[in-house]
Amino acid sequence: MPKVIVGMSGGVDSAVSAYLLKEQGYEVEGLFMRNWDAYMNNDILGNPTLNEYICPQEQDYNDAIKTCEILKIPLHRVDFVKEYWDSVFTYFLEELKKGRTPNPDLLCNKYIKFDAFKKEALKLGADFIATGHYARLKEGHLLRGKDSNKDQTYFLAQVSKSQFENVLFPVGDLTKQEVREIAKKSKINVAEKKDSTGICFIGERHYQDFIRNYLKPNPGNIINVETKEIIGRHNGLMNYTIGQRRNVGLSGNEERHYVCGKSVKKNELYVAFGENEYLYSDSCLLEDINFISDERPASCTAKFRYRGEDYPIELEYLKNGQILVKYPQKVKSVTPGQFCVFYKGEECLGSGVIKEVYKENQKLWYLSD
């Protein structure tokens, strides 16, 4: 009987994954990953925050314990706090310092869930590992999940092809509604538990309050991108992203405005008014390329954000290993630090990190850092 170690998160997707695998005749055990330490939330500016915040990870662990009791499977727990700090959180902070907008979830999958976790599962005698991701694997190809609204291949696009060996995605052929119905019928405790949202280590806390624990705010000028005039003050570039419209720091200014760029060198935040022309680009440069597929297409489609739509693109492979992505129809809010994920129909081909953004063969000066 093949043994499967399931990554138990305390949520309904991993719970149903374990249930389905057990129903299919596998020997199933759960493994809960502890990736974050609440004691690391002490404010570097001298304001302790631990007593004001209870890490939801502990509640998730308690939920996972109860789920495994219901399913009558063992649950193990492993500490990946150091690995997460070294491979994911440090990257997150360094990207913020560069003025970019990182997505740590892709690195968590690459270095923790499908590397450190997989190694730990092998120590427990696993033949396979399984997670609750909405994705499918077929003959080494990563395919979108059946539920297009929950498809998570975007977050798996930095995982290597070899890392997907002996991996199962039990809920990939189901919709979220079907998963919850299975959980209810099986009387699983987390059947109606809300999905986690946002960045996992921030949880429900206010983003700017959390970031202040690790990066000291460096206020600077807000610049009108058209007139070059100073129109306000920002409270640290790490608190803003391209396309942001709310909480920009221009109180009292009712004219429609949005963040269109920032310069780390000058410590300036650039804001535009009116139409969205400054948010559109027609090409971008990618680094840190990862291909899951053996195919290197000249054209395909791409997502520039998880919830974004698929855009037709052309790829130019450069000698330095980077890729120039072209989208003549123009795309809104392509942001340095985010990931461009390649698709060919249902298949996720791979991804790269957006390094620079261009319009009409010119690097956008207000995104020049």
Tell me, yes or no, if 108 is annotated catalytic.
yes
Options 68, 108, 300, 340, the catalytic residue: 108
Burial letters 248-275, b for 16+ CB under 10 A, else e: bbbeeeeeebbbbbbbbeeebbbbbbee
Neighbours of 241 (CB within 10 A): 16
141-144 vs 128-130, strand pairing mode: unpaired
Q: Cα 147 to chain center, whole Å?
A: 18
Tell me, yes or no, if 200 is annotated catalytic.
yes
- Of 170, 155, 163, the closest CA to residue 7 belongs to 170
Six-digit token string for 240:
């803003």
Options 55, 200, 300, 340, the catalytic residue: 200
- Alpha-carbon gap, residue 270 to 276, rounded angstroms: 13
- Of 297, 287, 258, 266, the closest CA to residue 351 belongs to 287
Catalytic residues: 108, 200
